[in-house]
Chain A
Amino acid sequence: MSPAARNIALAIAILALATSAFFLQRSQVYLLSLCCVYVMATMGLNLTMGYAGQMSLGQAAFFGIGAYIDAILTTKLGVSFWVVIPIAAVACFFVGLALGFPALRVQHHYLAFATLGFNVLVYLVMRNEEALTGGTFGISNVPRPYLFTWSLDSERAYFWFTLAALVIVAILMRLLLRSPWGRAFAALRDNPIRAESLGINITAYTLLAFAIGAAYGGVGGVFYAGLVQYVEPSTFYFTTSLMMLLAVILGGSGRFFGPVIGTVIVILLPEVLRSSSSPALQFMQKWYLVAFGVALVVLMVWLPGGLLSIGDRRARKAAA
């Protein structure tokens, strides 16, 4: 497919998705919105991990920081959602920058544990700083924003709003990856020693990969808080980071649409299995998590490069 044809196909798919909200139940629209907000976060993680090669088990912390910034600023100070987005993005950018420093010294599973430790730390702050975060009870009644005078309170309106925001951040990510920065991130991932000998500032790019990935997590968190209208610490525990990591790897780490496919599967597949109404699949109501687990194992064995590597696999088989 030519790039132009691909863009048209993509635009049609997005419009179809937006239109589908007319035909779906409220709870189904909510799930689609949930996919969109998580995709923002996993897209950021894909930059940090898939493109720049920096392992992270702390993405849920940034997602949580974004969500709490929204919840605190909108409920306690009455700050507009629109102002919160840049604040959360910038705040997470700088926290992500700080988290990037361990990555300058350690890599792979050591880095995974350093970032996991950070995630637990953020969780503890959320749980224990009750005056600010509401402790384990969290913060409820987080308002949804207005678009000019149009309330985004309805499930459908908020879905369209989130989808539009996702398209915008995805386009920004695409531009970033196509720029010389994107190529430098890939060089950092493939061979940092060679990269440095070619004048690539691996310190700067490592930190930037974390910071930009974190900013995406933070923006996703802001939209999450607006969607669920309630934040509490356990959502942002490191198990959520693991789920995000799974989504990236399942879809195809280092591929643009990898986190999209992966996140949709991780969020929707269990729901689809559980709520299936066909008699043949009724046993799934009890067994859906088992089926989900088995499906993951099979997928990872079959396609370790993620679902989107299936094209490469076919090409390689054809060549062999």
Chain B
Amino acid sequence: MIARAGELLHVDALHKSYGAIRAVDGVSFRVGAGEIVGVIGPNGSGKTTLFNCILGQIGPTSGRVALAGDDITSMSPLELARRGVGRTFQTLQVFGQLSVRDNLIVAAQEFESTLPRRLFARPDAGLTARADEMIERFRLKPVAQLHAGRLSYGQQKLIDIAMAFMPRPRLVLLDEPCAGVNPSLVETLRELLAELNRVQGGSFVVIEHNMDFIMRLCPHVICMVEGKVLAEGPPQAVQSNRAVLEAYLGN
């Protein structure tokens, strides 16, 4: 598959069927290097299934996914991680019994040297500085030594997202980063993601129901309905699209 100049992710005619149900029904889109793409759509429109197909959690029925021109369709999550694809999950996924700092270090340590060598590496795998930088950025310094599982939902959400960025991925897929987060933290998250995009230069694909968040973070938005891409383009154009309004509000 030949990538266009500056293109990182190319999803091409992706299908996923469960019997007669077409959860993902011929979705195609492209994400440029450093671009932030939002994915919106009503509940059950296939957004998370699309993510799971891209991320190798489930195999698509047909279609292809390419990362910088390499076919990565149905690759294991481990292989994708090694190729620089990071993700967050819809629900909180932190390592509860590790300290906040260790959560961040473990998120990046497997990208440093080889597995046998890590046995003899420095305990922090040389990542304390990078972890502390991330802790600073996410305002987690007062709790850096505490077990992640003991912290508040909002703090765990911040750790969860910070972990995905620790390995400095080329592409991050964020599944509802604002779910269950209070409005002031939503604003903080938006600022942090915009900042990380600037600093690290990775591409993001963000599933989100919070329209304000998507409109302000993503220059490009895809609206999915019933497994298909209904509309695509700049946020204002998608938001005022008649078909999108109908899908959300009904006739």
Please report A residues at the B interface, Cβ cutoff 8 Å: 176, 178-181, 183-184, 186-187, 189-191, 193-202, 204, 254
Having A183-B109, A199-B167, A200-B78, one finds 17 other A-B pairs with CB under 8 Å, namely: A180-B119, A186-B95, A190-B96, A191-B94, A193-B77, A194-B93, A195-B106, A196-B76, A197-B55, A197-B89, A198-B81, A198-B106, A198-B107, A198-B166, A198-B167, A199-B111, A201-B115
Tell me which of B102, B111, B123 contacts A179 (CB under 8 A): B123
Contact count band on B: 20 to 34
Q: How far is the CB of A313 from chain B (nearest CB, A)?
A: 13
For the complex, would chain A's binding face be called helix, strand, loop or mixed by DSSP majority?
helix
Give the most central of B93, B108, B125: most A CB within 10 Å: B93
Measured between beta carbons, the chain B residues less than 8 angstroms from A187 are: 95, 98, 106
Pick the contact of A180: B89, B94, B121, B163 (CB < 8 A): B121
Contacts of A194 in B (CB 8 A): 89, 93-95, 163
- Once the chains are docked, how many angstroms separate the CA of A216 from the CA of B87? 37
B110, A198: Cβ atoms closer than 8 Å: yes
Max chain A CB contacts within 10 Å: which of B96, B102, B111, B123? B123
**Closest residue of B by beta carbon distance from A190:** B95
Contact with A along B104-137 (1 / 0, CB 8 A): 0111111110010011110101000000000000
Number of A-B contacts (CB under 8 A): 89
Asked if B86 is an interface residue, CB under 8 A from chain A, the answer is yes
Indicate with 1 or 0, residue by residue over B42-73, a CB within 8 angstroms of chain A CB atoms: 00000000000001000000000000000000
Q: In angstroms, how far is the closest chain B Cβ from the Cβ of A208?
A: 9
Q: Are B109 and A180 in contact (CB under 8 A)?
A: yes
Task: Report the minimum CB–CB distance from B93 to chain A (whole Å).
Answer: 4
Q: How far is the CB of B120 from chain A (nearest CB, A)?
A: 7
Nearest CB to that of A184 among chain B residues?
A: B106
Instruction: Flag if A180 contacts B123 (CB, 8 Å).
Output: yes
In the bound complex, do residue A199 and residue B110 qualify as a contact, i.e. CB atoms below 8 Å apart? yes
> In the assembled complex, which residues on chain A have CB atoms less than 8 Å from the CB atom of B110?
184, 198-201
Q: Which residues of A contact B163 (CB under 8 A)?
A: 194, 198
